[in-house]
Structure 1
Amino acid sequence: MHIRKGLFLLLCSLSTVGLRGQPALDTLHFSRQHAETLFLQQNLQLLAARLDIGRAEAQVIQARLWPNPTLSVGEINLWTNAGAEELGSLTGHWGNTAQVAVEVEQLIRTAAKRRKELEKEQVGVAQAQTNFENVLRNLKLEFRNRLSELEFTQQQSQVYQRELHHFQQLLHAYGRGVEAGHASPGSYLRLQAFEIALLQSINAVKEENLHAQRAVKALMGIAAPYEVKLIDEPSPLPFPVDSLRNLDIGTLISLAQESHPELKAAELEMVYADKWLAAERAQRVPDVAVAINYDRGGNIMRDFVGLNVSMELPLFNRNQGHIKVARIAQEQGEINLQQKRNETTNSIVQAWQELLITLDYYEKLASGFEERIDAMLAAYHRSFANDDISLLEYLDFLETYLSNKTATMETRKQVQQRYEALNYAIGRQVAAIPAK
């Protein structure tokens, strides 16, 4: 596992050279898809959850086994008294007056108890698999949201750093004008104050990026010395918007009934309760123990071989309490399943509506708005450099520009996260669902 992880990280580092030219030595560049591949391979919670399936399968192996026979050796006399009967030697000169009894007993389980226990444990394997799917579903939601946060802070940092570069060039030129007596010292001080505010914003974004870095690396199983950066995707959104809009809420709800891990877990809980009840009812029938024994010198025959059959008499304990517990578990399973169906339906409706609302807002912002405001910013830079607009107008537009760029990126992140919330509510990838 460690070798595979090292090779994967090395390939990602090498891919950085082709994409970026001269990457930082401790920086790993990933696409969202490659990042998720490493997450699925190395996440420790997933590896631990997968072992639960092996434990459940081991329980099935155990349920298939027959009870071991019991061997008993007894009635061995340690010394001989005056009334001992001579029976003949057992080995050599020993055993002429020795007595011994040997018994082999086998328990036979009745009422198909073994088969019913096996069926119950097989349901346990299905439950372990469903629990793993649910752990994977929860971790995927967390990981993809963390990726969106990391991507947002990277893009926000790029915007702020780019504007800081342009602004510092302007500030330097303005400073020379102040020294030459052509510019106002007060305006220069106002520009310096804006630079400080911009630097504070950049530091805040860096801190947010560090938090996102820590979460993503922990989920991907990457050591602390590395920095993770996402490669820009060809599309600003990692899912097909048109295909998404062609779906309807009825299709999403019906498909969730088939594939939602929590619904499957609730259904398996009912199946397990049925198998449990059948197994407990079988316990009312007593098991039979069959034994063959050999007795030397302890019976009217010198060498006695006999057959013993024993069983409990079910007079008082007919497993009434355990049967009642299993019946209650059946009733609880029915209630839990209906509750889970209601919760799933409500979650899908809410997630679908929130996604559409956010998507509509994002598409309004993304419909050429960023290109226009970027072009306008360049025009403001030129106008201020040529003294065509005032300092107040220029700084006011810079604040508006940064605010709107942040709002656009924030909305893109919200669309991604609400898309993942819809995936989570349905229990499968929405992009893989055919339109009705």
Structure 2
Amino acid sequence: MMRFIGLVVALLCITISLHAQDTLRVSIQQADSLLVMRNLSLLAYKYEVDKAEARTIQEKLFNNPQLYTEWNLYNPTAQKWFDTGKNGQKIVQLQQVFRIAGQRRTAIRLAEEEKRMTEWQYYELARSLKYELHVSFYRYYYLNNAIVNIRSRLDLLKNLISIYEQQYNKGNISLQELTRLKSTYFEINNKVNDTQTELVQLQETLKVLLADDRAVAPVRGASDAVVAVLPAATLPELVEKSMENRPEIKAAQSIQAQTQLRYSLERKEAIPNLMAGAVYDQAGSYVPNYSGVSFGLQLPLFNRNQGRIQEAKAGMAQANVLLQSRRQEISHEVETAWKVFQLLDAQYKASGGDFEAQLDLLSKGLVSNYSKNNISLLEFTDMFEAYNSSIIELNQLKADLNKSYEELNYAVGEDLH
């Protein structure tokens, strides 16, 4: 018997352990670290940075020399095939192209600038994913907190309904009273189910972001604030910070620099490359074993790269306008995020910091007081519905407030903690 009990306990421990392994409990700091290490979108985009680095390496390489050789096939005088020996004929020519107008140096700078832009785009992708992670993390945490609180009260109400059904069958209470309790239960339960549907969607988002098949359980640390705190900086200061911090601005500035370099490169490409080389001709020149040097370039009579120069010039003007547009958009984003945060922060403060504690205190004796006939059915159902609706709405407000704070962080380009 003792051996059987020991086996049951061991199996129970294994089951609990496996269940724990199926859940990933993470704080927001741990989730940020996992995002960088695991997220497949980020990992894939890192290869774009590697590709840009490879293009920079390629631009630094010199052109390969060209080797040209010509060998005698048949000598009709000597009636000899492949007469390439001492009295035969062969030509060997080696040629190298030199970019004499600084094209290579400018092309290297352009490739380096393209790499820099790719890095800024990687940072922007990381910021976007971090924003999505934080919003999903906090919303899941608060909505799940609301569900846990409501579920315990619904269980009490369910037990109460079970008791009242027995009393109704005995004829001690009316059908109207029992139906009213059931209607209250189903109404609140429907709200819980709607919220749980959103939790399922948030759970899938967290799994994808963290690249983990386990259920993700967001946890709050002891030092984490319940809701975000309004930053002390003024709106103009936040706008100024956004112009300094936002990767989109850096990327747009990089594009602007690229168009300037491309314009410079196209102008330099109008200057022909110099071709220089050496030639050896065994018996085909005016003297045997002729050797000489060669130089050549294209004469820029018709094609002076006019079209590409004009295109690059238009690209510079376009990049300037796009940079101004990006700055304008980001300025409006910061202003909008700032105003929304102020509205939600004021709304949360108006509810009072102890509102949730008051609701909890109210709900604890609600079922007991109704069972003892201290309050009427109408009072009980009204207060029960008000409590559960307020719990959901309060936690949704907290989630919305944290979301607006994350939007402000994203708009400014830095954490404002």
Distance 1:125 1:337, change over 3 A: same
Aligned to 1:394: 380
Give the one of 94, 116, 119 matched to 1:126.
116
* Equivalent residues of 2:143, 2:396 under 8 A apart: no
Separation in structure 2 between the aligned mates of residue 130 and residue 25 of structure 1, nearest angstrom:
37
Q: What corresponds to 2:304 in structure 1? A: 318
Give the alignment of 1:234-253 within 5 angstroms: 234=222, 237=225, 241=229, 244-253=230-239
Amino acid at match of 2:272: P
Of the three residues 388, 391, 395, the one matched with 1:409 is 395
Q: 1:65 aligns with which of 51, 61, 65?
A: 61
2:204 and 2:231 map into 1 onto residues whose CA distance is 34
Give the drift of 1:210.
1.1
Contact 1:148 1:413 in 2 (8 A): yes
How many Å apart are 1:328 and its aligned residue?
0.8
Tell me how far 1:58 sits from its aligned partner.
0.8
1:170 corresponds in structure 2 to 160
- For residues 213-252 of structure 1, the aligned pairs below 5 Å read 213-223=203-213, 226-234=214-222, 237=225, 241=229, 244-252=230-238
Which among 49, 55, 66 is matched to residue 51 of structure 2?
A: 55
Match of 2:40 in 1: 44
Using the alignment, how far apart are the partners of 2:192 and 2:320 within structure 1? 54
Match status 1:183 vs 2:173: yes
Counterparts in 2 of 1:315 and 1:238: CA distance versus 1, 3 Å: farther
Match of 1:144 among 131, 134, 154: 134
Moved more, 284-293 or 379-388: 379-388
Aligned length: 401
Q: By how many angstroms is 1:176 displaced?
A: 4.1
Matches within 5 A, 1:26-45: 26-45=22-41
SS at match of 1:291: strand
Q: TM-score, normalised by structure 1?
A: 0.86
Rounded Cα–Cα distance in structure 2 between residues aligned with 1:290 and 1:25: 70
The ranges of structure 1 where at least 4 consecutive aligned residues each deviate by more than 4 angstroms after the TM superposition are 20-25, 235-240
Secondary structure at the counterpart of residue 346 of structure 1: helix
Measured in 1, the distance between the counterparts of 2:350 and 2:128 equals 31
Cα distance in 1 for partners of 2:147, 2:362 equals 20
Q: What SS does the corresponding residue of 2:361 show, helix, strand or coil?
A: helix
Q: Does the CA contact (< 8 Å) of 1:238 and 1:416 recur in 2? A: no
Deviations 1:334-384 (A, max 9, x none): 111111111111111110111011011112224211111221222332321
Is the contact between residue 231 and residue 416 of structure 2 (CA under 8 Å) also seen in structure 1? no
Superposition deviation, residue 120 in structure 1? 0.8
How do residues 15-414 of structure 1 correspond to structure 2 at under 5 angstroms?
24-74=20-70, 76-82=71-77, 95-223=85-213, 226-234=214-222, 237=225, 241=229, 244-414=230-400
Percent of aligned positions that are identical:
26
Distance 1:73 1:245 in 2: 75
Q: Secondary structure at the match of 2:74?
A: coil
Does 378-387 or 334-343 show the bigger shift?
Answer: 378-387
Classify the secondary structure of the residue corresponding to 1:430. coil
- Aligned equivalents of 1:58 and 1:69: distance in 2? 22
Say if 2:188 and 2:385, in contact at 8 Å, map to a contact too: no
Q: 1:220 to 1:376 in 2, by over 3 A?
A: same
Find the aligned partners of 1:235 and 1:414 in 2 and give their Cα distance: 20
Q: Which runs of 5+ in 2 are unaligned?
A: 1-12
AA matched with 1:276 = R
How far has the Cα of 1:179 moved from its partner? 4.7
Give, as a single letter, the amino acid of the residue that structure 2 aligns with 1:82. Answer: T
State the distance in 2 between where 1:331 and 1:59 align: 26
Pairwise CA distance, 1:221: 0.4
Letter in 1 for 2:203: Q
Shift of 1:195: 2.6
Q: Deviations over 1:290-310 (max 9, x none)?
A: 010111111122211111101
Cα pair distance change 1:240/1:355, threshold 3 Å: closer
Amino acid at match of 2:109: E
Distance 1:381 1:236, change over 3 A: farther
For 1:308, what is the secondary structure of its paired residue? strand
Query: Are the counterparts in 1 of residues 263 and 313 from structure 2 also a CA contact under 8 Å?
Result: yes
Shift of 1:30: 1.3
Aligned residue in 1 for 2:5? none
Distance in 2 separating the partners of 1:96 and 1:80: 13
Which shows bigger deviation, 376-385 or 390-399?
Answer: 376-385
TM-score (structure 2 length as normaliser):
0.90
TM-aligned CA distance change 1:370 to 1:236, over 3 Å: farther
Partner letter of residue 281 of structure 2? D
Do the aligned residues in 1 keep the contact of 2:266 with 2:305 (CA within 8 Å)? yes
Q: What is the distance in 1 between the residues matched to 2:330 and 2:19?
A: 45
